[in-house]
Amino acid sequence: ERERLIRLRHTPAVTIDGHKVELLANIEQPADAAAAVRAGAVGVGLFRTEFLFMGKGSHLPGEEEQYQAYRQVIEGMQGLPVTIRTIDVGADKPLEKGHKDDHLNPALGLRAIRWSLADPVMFRTQLRAVLRAAAHGRVNLLFPMIAHVSEIHQALAQVDLARAELDARGVAYGPVRLGAMIEVPAAALLARRFLHYFDYLSIGTNDLIQYALAIDRADESVAHLYDPLHPAVLRLVADVIAAGAELGKSVSVCGEVAGDVAMTRLLLGLGLRSFSMHPAQILAVKQELLRADTRKLVPWAQQVLESDDPAQAMEVLAMAQEKSA
Crossing angle for the helix pair 120-133 and 63-76, nearest 10 degrees? Answer: 40
| Residues 6 or more apart whose Cβ sits within 8 Å of residue 288 | 261, 264, 265
Q: Near Mg ion by CB under 5 A, which window of 162-170, 177-185, 245-253, 264-272?
A: 177-185
CB nearer ligand PEP, residue 15 or residue 26: 26
Q: Which residues pair with 253 in a beta bridge?
A: 203, 275
Is beta strand 82-85 parallel, antiparallel or unpaired with respect to 44-48? parallel
183 belongs to an annotated ligand binding site: yes
Single residue of 90, 106, 179, 204 touching Mg ion by CB under 5 A: 204
If one asks whether residue 151 binds Mg ion (CB under 5 A), the answer comes out as no
DSSP state of 291: T
254 annotated active-site: yes
- Which stretches of the chain bind ligand PEP, using CB under 6 A? 46, 48, 88, 183, 204-207, 254-255
Backbone angles phi, psi at 105, to 5 degrees: -150, 85
- The CB-of-256 to ligand PEP minimum distance in angstroms stands at 7
DSSP state of 288: H
CA gap 204, 255 in Å, rounded? 5
Of 99, 52, 45, 81, the C-alpha closest to 255 is 45
48 binds, among Mg ion, ligand PEP, none (CB under 5 to 8 A by kind): ligand PEP
Single residue of 151, 207, 256, 260 touching Mg ion by CB under 5 A: 207
Q: Near Mg ion by CB under 5 A, which window of 24-32, 199-207, 283-291, 308-316?
A: 199-207
Tell me the site size for Mg ion, rule CB under 5 A.
Answer: 3
- The CB-of-46 to ligand PEP minimum distance in angstroms stands at 6
293 belongs to an annotated ligand binding site: no
217 belongs to an annotated ligand binding site: yes
Residue positions forming the annotated binding site for Mg(2+): 183, 207
